[in-house]
Amino acid sequence: MATKWKNWNGPRAILKMEKASRKAIKDILDDILTDAVQEVPLDEGTLQNSGMVIMHTTKPIGVVCFGGGIGTGLPKIPYARRWHENSANFQHGRKRFYLRDPFNRHVKNLKTKLKSEIRSEFR
């Protein structure tokens, strides 16, 4: 038998859902960044060191980016996109699609991570 609600806590529930969503997305994006740093082509380290996760301040929205540019606080690295899209002779297991491949591997875990964060938030 279902329990009847005595009070409506909609705004509180929304805040808990947003918090759980932000945490799940941030964790997955951090995992993607960790793998991408291991796959980004080696240069003098500029491209590899430019990787970052940027999250929206309140909404569950975020990105993983390399190469600097507007909104990152870093100067734009012109060859970041080129090395992602074009094949070359990369050494030490580095490769193109250094951001796309880790994303495709980790995005499958987002649903599981989101469920886990929601459960922990509503306990």
Q: What confidence tens digit (pLDDT) does each residue in 11-51 have?
A: 888 999 999 999 999 999 999 999 998 888 776 677 788 88
95 is a domain residue: yes
In a domain? residue 66: yes
Residue 83 lies in a domain: yes
**Residue 15 counted as domain residue:** yes
Residue 2 lies in a domain: no
Is residue 4 one of the residues assigned to a domain? no
Range of the domain at 96: 11-118
Average pLDDT of the residues of the chain = 84
What region does 59 belong to: left with phi over 0, alpha with psi -120 to 50, or beta? beta
Q: For the chain, give the number of residues.
A: 123
Question: Pick the residue with more confidence: 90 or 62?
Answer: 62
70 in any annotated domain: yes
Q: Is residue 62 situated within a structural domain?
A: yes
Report the pLDDT value the prediction gives residue 110, as an integer from 0 to 100. Answer: 93
C-alpha 87/C-alpha 95 separation (Å) is 8
pTM, whole model, 2 decimals?
0.81
Task: Please answer whether residues 36 and 47 qualify as being in contact, where contact means their C-beta atoms are separated by less than 8 angstroms.
Answer: no
How many structural domains compose the chain?
1
